[in-house]
Amino acid sequence: MNTLTSKIRSFNRFYTTHLDILSQHYLDSNYSLTEVRILYEISESEMITAQKVAQILNLDKGYLSRILKRFSKEDLIEKVASSEDKRAFNLKLTSSGNTLMKDFNLKSEKQIENKIENLNFFEKENLGQSIQTIKNLLTETKPSPEDISYRYNISPGDIGYIIYLHGYIYGNESNFSNEFEKYVIKTFYDFLEKYSPENDRLWMAEYNNKIVGCIAIVHQPKEEAQLRWFLLDPAFRGLGIGKKLLNDAVAFCREKEFKNVFLLTTSLQNTALEMYKKVGFQLTKSEEVEEWGKTFNEERYDLKLD
């Protein structure tokens, strides 16, 4: 059996047992999980038809119809004629239905809180991120630009995680050796030793409270600045994150009135090179080197701002 398939099946068994989902009586009520999900979908929408509920929950229409008749008989739901189509009816909860759903929500939240009360801060963060990752992967939901947040205040752990991203991404995409990660560590050590919040800035792009991209401007003598550590998680490319980070970095340099901005890169970073050129950087030096287990051209690009 496929290893991933086996793991997913095992997780399904764990999850359904852990939350007592297999019980015919949801949260010790007279209703099944399916029936409560139907009430939930109705409560979450101002206008929803029985057909739409069946589509959302992938239910047989006949089976759903029998449940809705029971709900109507128990005064949990009512039908309201659609203002757009007089032949159609929308479903809504009655006062009794709303009271029941409120009770379910409170009990469900208490159940979950009891399950996670012994987790520490880091474990809760990890759990939340893992849940979001599973949802995204299994529903093919991709992050949108609106899901990305940006900041430049440096918090504990940021630098270490960015170093990890450099080692992981460059190791996989460019086949750089561990020597590259040692080099990145040294550059960040130097940066923190001389860090000036007034003249230096490190931007981070985040998704679900996790760093997925970064760029920095480091001040240099003679009204010059260096652009450094421009990086983006491959899973988040194509969302305009790199473009925003690069534009924000150049705008910061103009604001601080630096006369020149330069960057050091390699001839292997084709995507980044194209972005640099689009904002005006020009190649000023190129030299073949053998480093980090690879042979490439080490290149310098400059952008004149005066």
pLDDT band at 287 (very low <50, low <70, confident <90, very high): very high
pLDDT of residue 232: 94
- Residue 260 identity: N
Strand partners, 263: 301
Share of the chain above pLDDT 90, in %: 62
pLDDT at site 233: 92
The 10 Å Cβ neighbour count of residue 37 is 16
Q: Is the pLDDT of residue 270 over 70?
A: yes
pLDDT for res 26: 80
Between CA 105 and CA 37 the distance in angstroms is 11
Task: Tell me the mean pLDDT in the region 165-192.
Answer: 93
Q: Which amino acid is at 179?
A: E
Q: In the predicted model, what is the mean pLDDT of residues 74-82?
A: 89
pLDDT band for position 188 (cuts 50, 70, 90): very high
Pairing of strands 77-81, 89-93: antiparallel
3-118 and 145-304 share one CATH topology? no
**Domains of the chain, residue spans:** 3-118, 145-304
Query: Residue 22 pLDDT > 80, yes or no?
Result: no
Q: What is the pLDDT of residue 257?
A: 93
Q: How far apart are the C-alpha atoms of 220 and 226, rounded to whole Å?
A: 7
Q: What is the pLDDT of residue 259?
A: 95
The CATH class of the 3-118 domain is mainly alpha
117, 158, 160, 186, 201 from 192: Cα distances, Å: 37, 12, 12, 10, 11
What local confidence, expressed as pLDDT, does residue 85 receive?
A: 67
| pLDDT band per the 50, 70, 90 thresholds, residue 86 | low
CB under 8 A, 24+ apart: contacts of 75-81: 76/39, 76/100, 77/39, 77/42
At 100-119, the pLDDT tens digits run 999 999 998 998 899 899 98
Per-residue pLDDT tens digits for 49-58: 999 999 999 9
Q: What average pLDDT does the chain have?
A: 90
In terms of pLDDT, which residue wins out, 125 or 295? 295
Is 262 a residue whose pLDDT tops 90?
A: yes
Q: With 60 as the cut, is the pLDDT of residue 1 above it?
A: no
The architecture of the domain spanning 145-304 is 3-Layer(aba) Sandwich (3.40)
User: Measured between alpha carbons, how far is 105 from 110 in angstroms, rounded to an integer?
Assistant: 9
